[in-house]
Structure 1
């Protein structure tokens, strides 16, 4: 795929099987994937790597931060990163996702995920410079 970004995507999901399915679907389309099992692990990864292009995070996760908390923190600290949140228990309108992010309800088809990732990255690339700092 010629338009695949060089920057990796971060998948944040505590259910390993669901995380693996999403990662495999995106890797099959040529994306580089980094995985995290919760929001704290995701923040540690983000602090070490400023190269992440997009995070795809579940809302409901164990620990003191959920996916929406993570999305808020990413918006504050790394505004150049695109955000997609998902949940099977919570329903949001995409307008409720920080930083013009998108909401993808579970269960989702992997083709829906891939399409939404491609749309978010295309929006970012067409919009403004990738580094807003």
Structure 2
């Protein structure tokens, strides 16, 4: 006797494999390697990193690098071509996400910046000049719009992107 197909509820049980979004993992044939934008995500919350990474993996035209903290981010900024830096303001250690962004701009003048935070005391005035400010919690579409706006401010040519859900 064949096993019954799992119900929707069974597939969403903890520990069950999460259903993939339609189009997830599909080839990004519309984007050449030069057109793909590399996004460095910096946060000290692994769940935030995972959520943003998942969003970008399901959005054409992006590839992402996760950095769990400042030390990892600095290394990634030195070793990889990064087009967009998405950084949380509050990070473990003595360097803030804002300071990380300022240093990234000094070393990589064309880098696009998105600063994210749940801290209600941080204001737009504290964000590096061309950076985009996004307060947590935010939706996936808000983040994608912020990344596109940051790329535009940094002078990058924009390409049509499709987010598959």
Shared fold by TM > 0.5?
yes
- Is the counterpart of residue 22 in structure 1 residue 49 in structure 2? no
Kept in 1, the 8 Å contact 2:69–2:91? The answer is yes
Structure 2 segments unaligned to the other structure (5+ residues): 1-27, 158-165
| Inter-partner Cα distance in structure 1 for 2:113 and 2:48 | 18
Aligned to 1:32: 63
The TM-score normalised by the length of structure 1 is 0.84
| Inter-partner Cα distance in structure 1 for 2:79 and 2:45 | 23
| Inter-partner Cα distance in structure 2 for 1:121 and 1:3 | 16
Aligned to 1:121: 151
Structure 1 segments unaligned to the other structure (5+ residues): 127-133
Residue of structure 2 aligned with 1:77, choices 94, 107, 125 = 107
Secondary structure of 1:52's counterpart equals: coil
Aligned to 2:97: 67
- Tell me the C-alpha RMSD between the 2 structures: 2.1
Residue of structure 2 aligned with 1:45, choices 62, 76, 81 = 76
Structure 1 segments of 4+ aligned residues over 3 angstroms from their partners: 1-5
Task: Return the structure number with greater helix share.
Answer: 1
Deviation, 1:96, is 3.1
Number of aligned residue pairs: 125
Bigger Cα Rg: 2
| Inter-partner Cα distance in structure 1 for 2:127 and 2:50 | 24
